[in-house]
């Protein structure tokens, strides 16, 4: 799965996620990627989220929507919301994966509960910051 979250100069948030799904999947299996609130969510003044990981559990935990709700209604910071969701029910139910998120002020957060996530952002100088492990 791949994804991106962005905040533009107008203050608009957006999220995009795309995937080939699960190797050896059958029966028209659909994961979290196209499920709004599962693997993808964006709301101005709140947060944009794109998820990757075990799709069925990301759906059952409505991971992207849960992060947004904790921030909107619980006043959680982006770091706190992402950490509590990825290391909360999602992990306790056996879910592995992570999210990228960006808030209304442009703060970026990467949260994962597994050994690695291919990820990148851009620093203030316009240089790419890339990490894997």
Partner 1 sequence: MTRPFSIAIHGGAGTIERSLMTPELEASYRKALAQSVMAGHAVLEQGGSSVDAAVAAVTVMEDSELFNAGKGSVLTHDETVEMDASVMDGRNLEAGAVTLIRHIKNPIQLARDVMQKSPHAMLAGEGAESFAFKECGYEYVEQDYFFTDRRYNELKTMKKTGGVALSEARYPDEKKHG
Q: Compare residues 76 and 82 and give the one whose CB is closer to partner 1.
A: 82
Number of residues near partner 1 (by CB under 8 A): 75
Considering only CA atoms, give the Rg of the chain. 14
Should residue 63 be labelled a site residue for partner 1 when binding is judged by CB under 8 A?
Answer: no
User: Which phi-psi region, left, alpha or beta, contains residue 104 (left: φ > 0; alpha: ψ -120 to 50)?
Assistant: alpha
Should residue 78 be labelled a site residue for partner 1 when binding is judged by CB under 8 A?
Answer: no
Should residue 55 be labelled a site residue for partner 1 when binding is judged by CB under 8 A?
Answer: yes
Active-site residue 62, yes or no?
no
Should residue 128 be labelled a site residue for partner 1 when binding is judged by CB under 8 A?
Answer: yes
Of 103, 112, 47, which Cα lies nearest the Cα of 85? 112
Q: Which residues are catalytic?
A: 1
């Amino acid at each position: 799965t791949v994804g991106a979250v962005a905040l533009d100069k107008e203050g608009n948030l957006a999220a995009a996620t795309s995937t080939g799904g699960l190797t050896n999947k059958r029966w028209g299996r659909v994961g979290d990627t196209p499920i709004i609130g599962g693997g993808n969510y964006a709301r101005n003044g709140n947060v944009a989220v794109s998820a990757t990981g075990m799709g069925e559990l990301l759906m059952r935990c409505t991971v992207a929507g849960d992060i947004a709700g904790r921030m909107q209604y619980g006043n959680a910071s982006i770091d706190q919301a992402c950490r509590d969701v990825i290391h909360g029910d999602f992990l306790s139910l056996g879910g592995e994966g992570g999210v990228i998120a960006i808030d209304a002020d442009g703060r970026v957060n990467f949260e994962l509960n597994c050994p690695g996530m291919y990820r990148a952002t851009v620093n203030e100088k316009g240089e790419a910051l890339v990490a894997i492990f």
